[in-house]
Amino acid sequence: MTIQKKQFADIADIKGLVMTCRKCSAELSIAIAEHLRPDGLKTCPSCGVRWLEEDAQGFLRSNLGTLSNLLHELRIGLEYRKDKKEGFNLTLELSAAPASSIPDA
């Protein structure tokens, strides 16, 4: 028998985006906001190692802003409609630990 555990998060549970440095493990948390301006993503704020090349810098800044704005707008829209019978609830499925195998009895 194989058991698979799924993990879900409500959109309202997302507080921010976290970037973790691969060299020193420092974390940079960027709050979800209506108008995110994720400046300073070129290097790690702790050890200074380069995170992004120049062309990737603008791409990531632009898309992090888009993602943050989308999450912000979804939270507002879904919060407004939570007492309504129509519409939907939105959750994110998270990656879970690998499935475990249990021998059949």
68 vs 4: CA distance, rounded Å: 30
55 vs 50: CA distance, rounded Å: 13
Q: Are 17 and 68 in contact (CB under 8 A)?
A: yes
**Mean pLDDT, the chain, integer:** 76
Q: Are 19 and 104 in contact (CB under 8 A)?
A: no
Q: Are 29 and 11 in contact (CB under 8 A)?
A: no
Q: How confident is the model at residue 10 (pLDDT cuts 50, 70, 90)?
A: confident
29 vs 79: CA distance, rounded Å: 24
Q: Which amino acid is at 27?
A: E
pTM of full prediction above 0.85: no
| Residue 65 confidence (pLDDT) above 60 | yes
**Domain-by-domain residue ranges, the chain?**
15-97
